[in-house]
Chains A and B, each alone.
Chain A
Amino acid sequence: MWLLNFLPNWVFYFVVIGSSIGLLVSQLIPIQFRTITQAALAALVVFGAFMIGASYNEEKWKQRVVEVEKKVAEAENKSAIETVKIVDRVVYKKQVVHDKAEEVVKYIDREIVKYDVKFAPGGVCEIPKEFVEALNKAAE
C-alpha cells in the first residue's frame, strides 16, 4: 500500500480518534448538516481503522519475511556444511577403493602372473573360451 510508505502510523490513529470524537460531538450540529457530517466522519473512521489494520498487517508481514529469510539463510548454510561433509566422505571412500584395487593389481602382478603359462591357451589348464565369454556377457 503506497499510502503506508509515506504516511506515519500515528496519522491513522489520529484520524480514527478524531473522527470518533467528531461523531460523538456531531449530535450538537444543526440537523440539516448532521447527516452529511456523520457520514463523512464515519467514512473517516472506517478509512482510519482500515489503514491501522493494514499497517499492522504490513508490519507483521515484514517481520515474517525477515524471519523466513533468516531461516532460509540458516538452512542454506547447514546445507552447504552437510554437502561438504558428504562429498569429503565419498572422496575418501573412492580413494580407499582405488588404493585397494591398486593393491590387488600389485598382488596379481606378483602372484597370479606365475600361473599365466599354466593357464595359457594350449597349456596344462587352458581357460575355456566359454568361461571368458560368460564373464563378458555378464559385464554387458
Chain B
Amino acid sequence: MKKYLLLLVLFLCGCSTTVPVTAKFPALPEELSVTCPPLKKIPEEAKLSDITKTVTNNYQLYHLCSANNNALLEWITTQKKIFKEIQ
C-alpha cells in the first residue's frame, strides 16, 4: 500500500500554463505615417522674393517634418511604456 501512496506523491506535480492572451501593438496613426518631402529648389532667374519664399518654404518643410518625427518618437515611447506595463 505504501508503494501505491508513493505513486500518488509522484503524480502531484504542478504544471505550468502560459496565458494565451497577447496584446497587439497598435497600428501607427495615419497622421504620423507621413514621409518628409524633398526640399524645394530656387528656379533660375529667380527674384529676391522668390528666393526668400523658397527658403521660407524649405524651413516650413523642415518644421513640419520635425513635428511629425517628434510626435512619432513620442507615440512609440508612450505605446512601448503602456504595453510594457501589462507584461
Contact = CB atoms under 8 A, between A and B. Distances in A.
Given A75-B82, A119-B48, A42 B4 contact: yes
Contacts of A72: 21-23, 86
Contacts of B52: 108, 112
Q: Main SS of the interface on chain B?
A: helix
B22 to A, nearest CB: 8
A4 interface: no
Nearest to B67: A93
B35 to A, nearest CB: 14
Interface residues of A, number: 56
Interface in A36-68: 38-39, 42-43, 45-46, 49-50, 53, 57, 61, 64-65, 68
A51 B1 CA distance: 21
A61 B20 CA distance: 10
Interface residues of B, number: 54
A130 B86 CA distance: 59
B4 A139 contact: no
A112 B20 contact: no
B19 A61 contact: yes
Interface in B13-64: 14-15, 17, 19-23, 26, 29, 31-32, 38-42, 44-49, 51-60, 63-64
A120 B51 CA distance: 11
A113 B49 contact: yes
Contacts of A116: 47-49
A135 B54 CA distance: 10
A11 interface: no
A91 to B, nearest CB: 6
A108 to B, nearest CB: 5
Counting from the closest, the 8 A-B pairs by CB-CB distance are A42-B4, A90-B71, A139-B39, A101-B60, A119-B48, A116-B47, A68-B21, A93-B67
14 contacts: A42-B4, A42-B5, A49-B8, A57-B15, A79-B83, A82-B82, A86-B32, A86-B71, A87-B32, A90-B67, A97-B60, A97-B67, A108-B49, A116-B48
